[in-house]
Every structure is written in structure tokens, then in C-alpha cells.
Amino acid sequence: MTTQKIGPLLPVKDVREIDHVKVHLFLKNLSLAKKKIEKRNVAKKKMETQFKKVQKIPLPKTKKKVLDKELKELKVKISEVVEAEKKIFTRQQQDFFFSKLLERRIAELEGKINQFLAYREERKKKIQELEKKVKSKVKTRTEKINIIKKQIQKLESTYNKLKKSKMYDKETLDIIKKRIDSLKQKIISPLP
């Protein structure tokens, strides 16, 4: 499938790759920010209009009440502008705080991942060491068994020679045979 361009900056292979929840959230926040800026701009225009009214008032001829009324309206317009600016600034602060919070959380998670990877690597080394020890013990046991088997073969050979020579009585030969059989049993049973 070829890459489509959705908007000027979003190259994606498939429209399904877009996280619609994040896009919706982004557009909602963008809309809220636009509304706040529009409110601020309207409040600024009202304030400027009110300033112009106050400037056009001829002071010597105007009554004090009219001037006070216009100044009160001017104060209201200024406070509207200030309030709109505060809302924009507050949102920026919240976004900054949230961004820092996310960065800190990401750093914590990266630390935990690195810790886990180090633990896993250490565990892997320990397993390799244990496998090495087991193999070495198995090799050592196999060598011991082979040595004992050779010794038993020599004993059986000697026993057969003694039996053929008829120099020893049957009881002595039976004792030797029992010793050889007991050594064979040791080979069959597991070594410590």
C-alpha cells in the first residue's frame, strides 16, 4: 500500500494508523484555545473602543457623572481583557505542568525498564554459571563412573584368572564376587 498524505504533515500508510481519540482531543483543545483567543481579541476591541470614547469626551463641558460612567465601563473592559489573558496563561501553565509531569513519568518508566533489563541480564549470567557448574559436575561424575567401570573390569578379569587358577577356595571367591557386585550396584545408584 502506498503512503497517503493526510494533511500536510501526517504521512501514514493507512488511515487506520491514526489514533482517533488523540486527534479528537487535539482538535478539541485547539478549538478551546481559538475561542479563548477570540474572546481576548473581542475584549481588547471593546476596551479600545471605550478608550476612544473617553478620549473624545470634552472635559470642560461634560458632566462628572458621564465621565465616571465611562471610566467604570473602561474598568470593566480592562478587567475582561485581563481575565481573558489569565485564562490563556493558566491553560499554558497547565499544559506546561502536564508536559513536565509526563516527562518525569516517562523518565521513571525508562529507569524501571533499564533496571529490569539489568536484572534480566544479571539473571541470565547466573543461569549460565549454574549451567556451567551442572555440566562440570555431570562431566566429573561421568569420569568417576568410567574410572570405576575400568576398575571393576580389572577386578572381574583378576577374579576370572583366580577362578581358573583354582588357588582359592569357593568361599573366598564368593566374597570377591560379592565385592565386585556391590561396586556394580554403586555405579547403578546415583553418586553423591
Residue 94 to residue 87: CA distance in whole angstroms: 10
Give CA–CA dist 51/8, Å, rounded: 43
Range with the largest mean pLDDT of 7-16, 47-56, 101-110: 101-110
pLDDT digits over 45-80, tens only?
887 787 777 767 666 655 667 777 777 887 788 778
pTM of the model: 0.37
Residue 20 CA to residue 3 CA, distance in Å, equals 18
pLDDT at position 122: 93
Query: What pLDDT does residue 1 have?
Result: 46
Name the pLDDT band for 126 (thresholds 50, 70, 90): very high
Share of the chain above pLDDT 70, in %: 83
